[in-house]
Copies of this chain bind each other. A is one copy, B any other.
Amino acid sequence: MKRLIALLLLSTPALALAQAENGPNGADTAWIMTATALVLFMTLPGLALFYGGLVRSKNVLSVLMQCFTIAGAVSVVWFLFGYSLAFGGNGAWIGDFSKLMLVGVGHDTLNGTIPESLFMMFQMTFAIITPALIVGGFAERMKFSAMLAFSLIWLVVVYAPVTHWVWGGGWLQEMGLYDFAGGTVVHITAGVAALVAAMVLGPRKGFGSSALMPHNMTMTVAGAGMLWVGWFGFNGGSALAADGYASMAILVTHLSAAMGTLTWLTIEWIRYGKPSMLGAATGMVAGLGTITPASGFVGPGGAVVIGLLAGIVCFSATNFLKKVLKIDDSLDVFPVHGVGGMLGTLLAGVFSATTLGVFSGYGFAEGIGSMAGQLKVQAIGVIATLVFTAVATWIILKLLDAVIGLRVSDEEETQGLDLSQHEERGYDL
């Protein structure tokens, strides 16, 4: 987040204020409006299609519906009090209710150089995609009602506080955590929550014994392309300005995605004799997720290495989870986003170093003098987010299971969620 950079670079509040008092910047506003559209586009239809293609035909609408409903419900909650909890006040742990329903925000209320309404919208698109990512963990077996309840409670209990810690002036931000666009806030929280959900719900019927194949890889690839493009808004927009920081964030994002793609498909090529389209797309997402926390701090040389490591590590994690741990994280949210988010948050502490020659980045956080120092902060960020998310998610799910039940019946699962939850079918060709 550019805000973060601003806070770090301009260490005196007076200066920060001065910048804000400079008034609105049209170019920054133009870019962040665009970036906001791009990030919404990542979820709708991007992620929805990416995920939708990977499930079986009988469940495709349930996944699309989950993404859509989350977009709707999260937006309203974010407006009512979510934004205030994340970005209101100066608490170390959680925001306050000062920005409830955007009270007092008008056309000319600013956040930095852009309208606050825009900052809130941009953040809202992040708040939408994070629970939408979790859908991949419990896909093809969760009740729609439970999914909706879970997503909203999780938004308030997990997402809002972690956002506050990292971007809202909370303790991790104070400590100098480098998370430019959401390695901890978005990817670790979503990945860990998906893993916990997969474990609490248990595997899909037939997991391990019969084929639970993607029903439409062309849909998945269409979504993957949209994710790649949309991610320019995700990371580039996090600079909150139309400047060299934003451009560089886009460049490193793109290079990491490219390397992730190539790495994953190369591993498959070597190991299985053939590279696959799904492998390429998954590597791309791994590259994107991993560079996310680092994207404002590293240079293009570092980005290439990050993409390479993303491919290797996330590939291994995917196989480990599926083949060794035999956990049915349906669409591999944890190994790709969770592991990628952790890896990237740590690597942000490495490749932000200015002393790595062609792999150099743009320096550590204000007040942190060494890679070890930055890495320590990064590790604290990773662990805190991981542990908090895991525990909170587990509790939410267990409670919900007791109250309304999480999983559809066996018969409904066999029939498919499209018919059992929505009385609709994806195709009638």
List residues of A whose CB falls within 8 A of some B CB. Answer: 24-31, 33-34, 36-38, 40-41, 43-46, 48-49, 52, 56-57, 60-61, 64-65, 68-69, 71-73, 75-76, 79, 101-103, 105-109, 114-115, 117-118, 120-121, 124, 144, 213-219, 221-222, 224-226, 228-229, 232-233, 236, 241-248, 250-251, 254-255, 257-259, 261-262, 265, 272, 274-278, 280-281, 284, 299-301, 304, 358, 362, 421-429
Do the beta carbons of A30 and B242 come within 8 Å of each other?
yes
Do the beta carbons of B232 and A33 come within 8 Å of each other?
yes
Which of B115, B245, B265, B272 touches A243 (beta carbons < 8 Å)?
Answer: B115
Chain B residues closer than 8 Å to A304, beta-carbon distance: 76, 79
Chain B residues closer than 8 Å to A427, beta-carbon distance: 215-218, 429
Which of B40, B274, B301, B362 touches A422 (beta carbons < 8 Å)?
Answer: B274
Chain B residues closer than 8 Å to A424, beta-carbon distance: 217, 276-278
A49 to chain B, nearest CB (A): 6
A59 to chain B, nearest CB (A): 12
Closest residue to A32 on the B side, CB-wise?
Answer: B247
A233 to chain B, nearest CB (A): 7
**5 A/B residue pairs, CB under 8 Å, sorted by A:** A40-B229, A68-B224, A117-B248, A218-B219, A274-B421
Copies in the complex: 3
A15 to chain B, nearest CB (A): 19
Do the beta carbons of B72 and A280 come within 8 Å of each other?
yes
Do the beta carbons of B68 and A232 come within 8 Å of each other?
no
Do the beta carbons of A101 and B358 come within 8 Å of each other?
yes
Q: Is the interface of A mostly helix, strand, loop or mixed?
A: helix
Do the beta carbons of A33 and B236 come within 8 Å of each other?
yes
A222 and B216 CA atoms in complex are apart in Å by: 14
A279 to chain B, nearest CB (A): 9
Chain B residues closer than 8 Å to A73, beta-carbon distance: 258, 262
Do the beta carbons of A65 and B277 come within 8 Å of each other?
yes
Chain B residues closer than 8 Å to A213, beta-carbon distance: 428
What 9 A-B pairs come out closest when comparing CB atoms? A26-B27, A45-B225, A44-B225, A72-B261, A107-B244, A75-B258, A30-B242, A118-B247, A30-B31
A52 and B124 CA atoms in complex are apart in Å by: 30
A255 and B228 CA atoms in complex are apart in Å by: 26
Chain B residues closer than 8 Å to A214, beta-carbon distance: 428
A243 and B425 CA atoms in complex are apart in Å by: 43
Which of B72, B247, B257 touches A258 (beta carbons < 8 Å)?
Answer: B72
Chain B residues closer than 8 Å to A221, beta-carbon distance: 45, 48, 52, 61, 64, 68
Do the beta carbons of A218 and B52 come within 8 Å of each other?
yes
Do the beta carbons of A76 and B258 come within 8 Å of each other?
yes
Chain B residues closer than 8 Å to A109, beta-carbon distance: 244
A215 to chain B, nearest CB (A): 5
A264 to chain B, nearest CB (A): 10
